[in-house]
Amino acid sequence: MGLRAVIVGIPGVGKTTVLEKVVGSYRGARLANFGTIMLEVGRAEKLVEFRDELRKLPLDKQRRLQKAAAGKISLMRDKLVVVDTHLFIRTHDGFWPGLPFEVLRALKPTHLILLEASPNEIAKRRASDTTRYRDPATEDSLKEELALARSFITACSTVTGAPITIVRNGEGMQAEVAQGISRMLEKASA
């Protein structure tokens, strides 16, 4: 089996932007956007139309879609599978794990990468991205999410044995950040 890098970070930090570049520059890599796969299944079942409706569904429905997405990703056999996903989801029932044990068992990550930026940068990115319906945020709520992410990722590492890399996605630095991640993964596969 090839490498399976699971990349996480709070909404609007820049995961998809950076990962599209990583996959574009790495031969044999495939991007698995967990939310996109959940959305495809949710649309087929007429549960949702838009990706930002997924986290508003009743938890049992989200859990079913989550399991379906993890199952589909587990079947991917590319040299490098890059999973674009979340450590936790802000649902009506509270913070809910994006990577509970059974999902981690399916994904089998070899690398865990946490993307971070400052609360101020993330607030601006969320506000300027008109393609999404993002939850309102304050500096305090973003700080809380960033702290929660560090705590959730340690649990994932302990359970899977996969190492954690924390990468700062600085303002305007998306190309350099993508290059750094690609280089690290190329070394790991050499």
When asked if residue 11 is in the footprint of ligand ATP (CB under 6 A), the reply is: yes
Q: Is 80 in the site for ligand ATP (CB under 6 A)?
A: no
**Sequence-distant (≥ 6) Cβ neighbours of residue 169 within 8 angstroms:** 9, 13, 14, 18, 115, 116, 117, 177
66 binds ligand ATP (CB under 6 A): no
Binding positions for ligand ATP, 113-172, rule CB under 6 A = 125, 128-129, 132, 169, 171-172
Q: Does the footprint of Mg ion cover residue 16 (CB under 5 A)?
A: yes
Please state the closest distance from residue 3 (CB atom) to Mg ion, in A: 20
Cβ atoms of 148 and 96 closer than 8 Å: no
Residue 9 or 109 having the CB closest to ligand ATP: 9
Q: Which of 79, 99, 107, 90 has its CA nearest to residue 10?
A: 90
φ/ψ (deg, to 5) at 133:
-105, 90
Sort strands 29-33 and 80-84 into parallel, antiparallel or unpaired. parallel
CB of 120 to ligand ATP, least distance (A): 12
**Alpha-carbon distance 108 to 128, whole Å?**
34
Say how far apart CA 20 and CA 113 lie, in whole Å: 15
Provide the minimum distance between the beta carbon of 54 and ligand ATP in the complex, in angstroms, as a whole number. 11
Supply the minimum distance, in Å, between the C-beta of residue 120 and ligand AMP: 20
Q: Which stretches of the chain bind ligand ATP, using CB under 6 A? A: 9, 11-17, 125, 128-129, 132, 169, 171-174
Q: Which stretches of the chain bind Mg ion, using CB under 5 A? A: 15-16
